[in-house]
Amino acid sequence: MSTVRAKFFKSDLKQSSHFRLGRHLLLTPSAVIDYTLLTASDGNRRIARIVMAAAAKLLTPVVLELGGKSPVIVDSGINLQVATRRIIAGKWGCNNGQACISPDYIITTKDYAQQLNPLESKDLSRIVNSNHFARLVKLLDEDKVSSKIVYGGERDETNLKIAPTILLDVPQDSLTMNEEIFGPLLPVITIEKVEDSFDFINSSGAKPLAAYLFTNNKKLKERFVEKVSAGGLVINDTTVHLAEPTLPFGGVGDSGMGAYHGKFSFDTFKHKKAVLYRSFAGDAPVTVGQIGKILFIIH
């Protein structure tokens, strides 16, 4: 990597993984910042606004990848074992839910909700730090949420571990349904018919970083693509689009702006400079008289 960096990047390349240092560079008049990429681990829009304000002073382009509440719609009549396994992989198998595109909540019909069950994991990732652990416990212990636990809920503060937890029909006005969870809590929201899920997702006004649908229904797939605005959509799986280099990865609206990965990183983080070469021969007509002579000859 050091060889590649030395060959293809300028010697004054500055890279920061620390928010305060990155902001300091943006506010330093002598610093030349061509592009800024912010990936907020839990969709922190407050930090995004600070970075954008700092970048605006230097007219520096910004790419924001901010996360959001990524929903999973589960239709009836599917291979439930495969769907459950893929949801589990995207949620608890993906750093115990601490990933920007991990499934945030499930929407399914009332008669199908009881068939969705997690598989107990013997190898759980720890919660990233004590502050985030406390935040997740606060979500879980909210009065209107704690009574909705149907699976899991155990926590170990010493080792910063929270068991995979399923909550059934959490109120929409709860903290759990109004913040990106970014952890092992998975609400299941029931609706009368699966088509109602699109209105449910759109009712918040926020656009998630990702949205997922499990179905065999062709028309439902088409409506999902048409109705749901998100950074990326996946049908019959979760999170796998992140690893596909031929697809752009990024958010829209509250979940960010701009896209990268694969060739899209080169498209995003470079300037397309227009260059045109001409000789000294064959000037085009520029006056009314010259144009008139050409028209006379043509006619």
Task: Kindly list the catalytic residues.
Answer: 65
Torsion over CA: 80, 187, 208, 66 (sign): negative
Burial of 253 (0-12, 13-18, 19+ CB in 10 A): middle
Question: Sheet holding 71-74: strands in order across?
Answer: 149-151, 165-168, 185-191, 105-109, 71-74, 210-214, 232-235
Q: Please identify which residue in the block is written with the tokens 């198998």.
A: 93
Helix (H, G, I), strand (E, B), or coil: what is residue 260? strand
Q: Shortest CA distance to 256 belongs to which of 65, 99, 87, 21?
A: 65
Residues in the chain, how many?
A: 299
DSSP-assigned letter for residue 177: T
DSSP-assigned letter for residue 222: H
